[in-house]
Amino acid sequence: MEAAPKGRTRFLSWKDARVFLLFLIALGLFCGAGWIFLNKGLYLLPDKMCEGALKRDAVKQMLPRARSADTRSRSHGTGDRLNFWCDVTTSNDSILSGEAQVEPLSSKRWLEYYRAPGGQTRIVHVSVGNIEALAQIDSDSNRSSVYVPCAPPDVPPGNASQSYAVVGEAYIDGRAEAEGAPRRQALTDFVYQLTKHAYKLAECKAPVDFPRELPRYRDSG
């Protein structure tokens, strides 16, 4: 058999090229399936969780991809003893957690608590009507909170001078998908929905006109 002349390039036949192309397609499908398997957790969560207070798209904004994820929620107590919590856990140890409960707490004391003694913790703060929200800015703080005045139905008239409110708080433990201002805003939006739901569960006497969303933060850092 004659050897191929030197210096002449040997091209793949159409059959060989087709086999190679099919191999690349199969490899791409395999890698894609592997990626989906290893990162499917958040995508398999229900569209709405925690009695409708949390949406899957919101979780995807806050938590990184994970092989598996699970969600839980529970409410207990009524009136001034109401407590409602919700969390999402993932296989990579990132946790989104939120809680809302009725507390005998004034707006001033609520703000002071999150600023910490001496005002050493910086916060961003917004309000609409008598609804207030805040987020801690310091890098080692990862919390957002919402305050909505509430008059529980089972509080005696003699205690009318005591300020009551539904106070919600949310935080991320572990790695987050978003950082800085986007994370603070996403956490506050989550805890706002949680607090709205708890307000209804508590059957607070005075109705509140909840806006679709709170004013956006204008923060730095």
- pLDDT at residue number 53: 94
* Percentage, residues of the chain above pLDDT 70: 74
pLDDT tens track for 20-48: 555 455 445 444 434 444 457 788 899 99
pLDDT tens track for 112-169: 888 876 556 788 999 999 999 999 887 556 789 999 999 888 776 555 557 899 999 9
What would the 3-class secondary structure string for the chain be? CCCCCCCCCCCCCHHHHHHHHHHHHHHHHHHHHHHHHHHCCHHHCCCEECCCCEEHHHHHHHCCCCCCEEEEEEEECCHHHCEEEEEEEECCCCEEEEEEEEECCCHHHHHHHHHCHHHCCCEEEEEECCEEEEEECCCCCCEEEEEEECCCCCCCHHHCCCCCEEEEEEEEECCCCCCHHHHHHHHHHHHHHHHHHHHHHHCCCCCCCCCCCCCCCCCCC
